[in-house]
Amino acid sequence: MRVKMWGVRGSIPSPGPDTVEFGGNTSCYEVRAGDALIILDGGTGLRLLGQELLKQLPIEAWMFFSHVHWDHIQGFPFFTPAFMRGNTIHMYGGLNVTRTLEETLAGQMDFPSFPVHLSEMGAKMTFQDLYEGEVIAIGPHGDVRVSNARGNHPNGVYAYRIDHGGKSVVYITDSEHYAIVDPKLKKLAMNADLLIFDAMYTPEEYAGEAGGGPKTGWGHATFVAGCELAKAANVKQLVLHHHDPMQTDAMVRDKERRAQALFPNTVAAREGLVIEL
Ligand SMILES: [Zn+2]
Ligand SMILES: [Zn+2]
């Protein structure tokens, strides 16, 4: 398996001189599992992935949305392969809101917010709303297994685990930690080769000691919670994801260094980084 990071920032795109190293695009990961192209979330990083995929047409992609907050869907109207006939995109999201995934994706492109409607995009698209705990087989050969669990986030969120050929990647974004390690997420992440985790805050930021007030109930975790989950679930490598838009490159580097003291095989997500499993 191979994982490439296209968007690692939380909440809102945050370009500028202070975010050059880690990047300012919002959530999007490309996972290659055998012959399967899997896309995790459609934040603004998806636009860049789309440009890369133009060299590999036609594409068939399996796309999983953690949830439909803007920073996880905003890149979709700018995903060029979705406008092109001959491409196929299978889309999955959690059944956790009053609207289906298709209705929500169409909603962000409704008049007058966007000039082209979802139904006018040329690619063949399918939508599947997932139930918690549902395990599905995907990919051109049906040999990739995707399981899920619900996390702790306003309006709900799904975490995903991808298994293929004895390797595994777990993607847990936008999920606030509890006083104990979440047993459901621990089970989902158990013995994974790679855990990508929402490590938006430092403990000081979360507690409000860094200014801006406490972040309890906002639906995001600290890097300490990520390290605790990684240890409890016996994962091999941890990726700190969903950096706060207020965090400069120096702050993310510091967060990474502090996390490595707790769980040595940790890296802060950065745009363009590739991890081979
Ligand atoms: Zn988010
Ligand atoms: Zn969210």
Task: Tell me the average pLDDT across 170-189.
Answer: 97
pLDDT at 96 (0 to 100): 62
Look at the block and give the residue holding tokens 């399981």.
Answer: 147
Task: Identify the nearest ligand to the CA of 10 by its number.
Answer: 1
12 Cα to the center of ligand 1, angstroms: 8
Under the banding of pLDDT at 50, 70 and 90, the label for residue 216 is very high
Contact 86, 56 (CB under 8 A): no
153 Cα to the center of ligand 1, angstroms: 9
C-alpha distances (whole Å) from 78 to each of 74, 211, 271, 272 are: 8, 35, 18, 19
Strands of the sheet with 274-276, listed across from one edge: 124-130, 88-94, 60-65, 36-40, 28-33, 2-7, 274-276
Bridge partner residues of 222 (DSSP): 201
Contact 126, 118 (CB under 8 A): no
pLDDT exceeding 70 applies to what percent of the chain? 99
84 Cα to the center of ligand 1, angstroms: 28
Give burial (CB, 10 Å; 0-12/13-18/19+) of 199.
buried
Task: For 186, list phi and psi in degrees, rounded to 5.
Answer: -60, -45
Q: Ligand 1 is a single-atom ion; what residues have CB below 5 A from it?
A: 10, 71, 174
- Of the given ranges (33-47, 86-100, 212-226), which has the lowest mean pLDDT? 86-100
116 Cα to the center of ligand 2, angstroms: 25
Neighbours of 143 (CB within 10 A): 15
pLDDT at 97 (0 to 100): 60
pLDDT at 59 (0 to 100): 98
Digit-coded pLDDT (tens) for 46-105: 999 999 999 999 999 999 999 999 999 999 999 999 999 999 999 999 876 678 899 999
Task: Tell me the average pLDDT across 141-169.
Answer: 97
pTM (whole model) above 0.95: yes
Label each residue of 137-205 as H, E or C: EECCCCCEEEEEEECCCCCCCEEEEEEECCEEEEEECCCCCCCCCCHHHHHHHCCCCEEEEECCECHHH
